[in-house]
Amino acid sequence: MAHLPNVGKSRQILAMERTTQVIGQSSSFLDALERASRAAALDRPVLVIGERGTGKELVAERLHRLSPRWDQPLVIMNCAALPETLIEAELFGHEAGAFTGATKARAGRFEEADRGTLFLDELGTLSMGAQERLLRAVEYGEVTRIGSSRPLQVDVRIVAATNEHLPEKVERNEFRADLLDRLSFEVVTLPPLRARRSDIPVLADFFGRRMAAELGWESWSGFGPAALDAMLEYRWPGNVRELRNVVERAVYRWDLTDPIDVIEFDPFASPYRPGSTASANQPAPAVAAPPEAVNDAAPDDGDASSDFKTRVARFEKELLTRALSENRFNQRATADALGLSYDQLRHALRRHDLIGAVA
């Protein structure tokens, strides 16, 4: 892991692990990162709380790499990725013959992480039985493989993450209060992307540049003001992970040298998707025409030379041309009439070589 110095007055921090980076300059993000950095030096459990896509695993990696255990194993286990019957075997290991299919002994994650850090993602999904055994391992540093009566001593630091409010699970008797007390020496809560809007342009530019380089572009023109405004107004339920997908998709679909000015938040958006209504938080499809209008204006079925895509494209171009004429070639009025944003209309006009008609 590379630890990069603070950059300029913005205190921009980048913490690199593998091929992913944690990037941010907003005060809420930097405060959470600073709390994690201070806790890293202490050999105590840490809980990382945050919505999906906020970078909990990256913060866990930072906690490990800044700790005295940095040169020892960092073992990662997603507690939600395994069926309940296998969780305990994964955590604590098993002896040969302990259960059906256990043909040979296997060390658990605690043994693999000895002298290092064990990161338990989706902690809130652990069963009560697994929580009880986890409590003993954390409290006494002992684990017992399934099928064995001999406890093993392990020296493991626990970092756990969840997107749930564990105190509420305790009240519902779905999580052990004593385990929560033991694991919450320090709690680092990561802000969602909507609470760190100043980071959105920074992240978008980073992901955009990286995608442009992957595509072999010689230069990077960035995003236009309309695209940036759209990203700043969006709620980002998937947080940084969603932002990365949206940006990379916008870059690879863009084939112009101009700044990118079309952003599609919903990759499933289409006037042809089955049985779905558009969400109020998602952009309208490229052409939002009522089905009966499509039928009325569709080309004659006798035109055998026109396949489906050609016919749809022809109708879309005719619809745009007619709407432009009816609205005196005023693009904003045309966009409103079609139920599109200004940027979606511009993108559709470019796709059909109609920009010259309204220039």
Mean pLDDT, rounded, for 272-288 = 52
3-state secondary structure of 106: strand
The domain 283-359 is placed in CATH, from the list 1.10.238, 1.10.10, 3.40.1130, 1.25.40, at 1.10.10
Per-residue pLDDT at 323 exceeds 70: yes
Q: Are both 194-265 and 283-359 of the same fold?
A: no
Higher-scoring residue by pLDDT: 290, 104: 104
Which pLDDT tens digit goes with each residue over 81-104? 888 778 888 899 888 877 777 778
Kindly state the greatest CA–CA separation across the chain: 84
d(C-alpha 270, C-alpha 344), whole Å:
13
What CATH number is given for 194-265 in this structure?
Answer: 1.10.8.60
CATH class of 43-191: alpha beta
Domain residue spans in the chain? 43-191, 194-265, 283-359
**CA gap 81, 140 in Å, rounded:** 27
Mean pLDDT of the 173-201 span:
96
Arithmetic mean of pLDDT, 234-263: 92
Q: What is the mean pLDDT of the chain?
A: 82
Which carries the bigger pLDDT value, residue 291 or residue 87?
Answer: 87
Reference 238, options 23, 52, 50, 59; nearest CA is 52
pLDDT at 359 over 80: no
Q: Has this prediction a pTM greater than 0.75?
A: no
Higher-confidence position of 277 and 149: 149
CB 355 within 8 A of CB 256: no
Considering only CA atoms, which of 190, 176, 261 is closest in space to residue 22? 190
Strands (E) located in the chain: 2-3, 13-17, 20-24, 46-49, 74-78, 117-121, 142-143, 152-153, 157-162, 186-189
